[in-house]
Chains A and B, each alone.
Chain A
Amino acid sequence: RKEVEQDPGPFNVPEGATVAFNCTYSNSASQSFFWYRQDCRKEPKLLMSVYSSGNEDGRFTAQLNRASQYISLLIRDSKLSDSATYLCVVKPGGGNKLTFGTGTQLKVEL
């Protein structure tokens, strides 16, 4: 089983739609969680950290469910510019490396 699993998509949604991505992780001792965004042929960039209580940044909401070991990202009012790959990232407790999922591709269309 992969350490971090995501549905690769692609998710094709119309502009203005709400879309949600889930991610599961296998290491129950994981301590830190993130969503990164990666545009085609570009480097990954931090979108937001994920906190136990859930957190929101504008149109983006991230949630963590430790009991079920999954993380979610909700994007409201999708924009064309949201088209990218969204990478779920986990940092195991006691470790220092970031472990990435395969990414979920989002395509927002007119």
Chain B
Amino acid sequence: DTGVSQNPRHKITKRGQNVTFRCDPISEHNRLYWYRQTLGQGPEFLTYFQNEAQLEKSRLLSDRFSAERPKGSFSTLEIQRTEQGDSAMYLCASSLVEGEGKNTEAFFGQGTRLTVV
């Protein structure tokens, strides 16, 4: 399977614990996005990377959230001191940006469903 891969698929954690999610994008894609989606809503932008550089972060991304893409390939999203309001589906997407900012279709992974109890 050469699509976007996310792990784990599901995560249940107690409030106050830290969690980390991983995203493996399509191998030649240089752009990687993180989104969050709750029931009945569309995906909300969190942050994106161009290669290893984190270029934009949403105001939704509080200090408890941190994302990395150390080698410009896979990315991790960490949530510290989880709260019940963090319960959501966390989606990763990747795309290829070629010269002049031409951006191909963004492909999404199947997401990590987080439940904070």
Please tell me if B21 contacts chain A, counting CB pairs below 8 Å: no
Please tell me if A87 contacts chain B, counting CB pairs below 8 Å: yes
Which A residues are CB-close (under 8 A) to B33? 97-98
Q: Which of A44, A46, A95, A102 has the most CB of B within 10 A?
A: A44
Taking chain B's interface residues, is the majority helix, strand, or loop, or is none over half, making it mixed? strand
Contact flag A103-B105 (CB < 8 Å), given A96-B55, A97-B48: no
Taking chain A's interface residues, is the majority helix, strand, or loop, or is none over half, making it mixed? loop
Interface residues on B, range: 20 to 34
- Number of A interface residues at 8 Å Cβ cutoff, please give it: 19
A87 to chain B, nearest CB (A): 5
Q: Which of B42, B45, B93 contacts A102 (CB 8 A)?
A: B42
A4 to chain B, nearest CB (A): 8
In contact, A97 and B42 (Cβ under 8 angstroms): no
Q: Which of B31, B35, B40, B42 has the most CB of A within 10 A?
A: B42
In contact, A101 and B42 (Cβ under 8 angstroms): yes
Please tell me if B8 contacts chain A, counting CB pairs below 8 Å: no
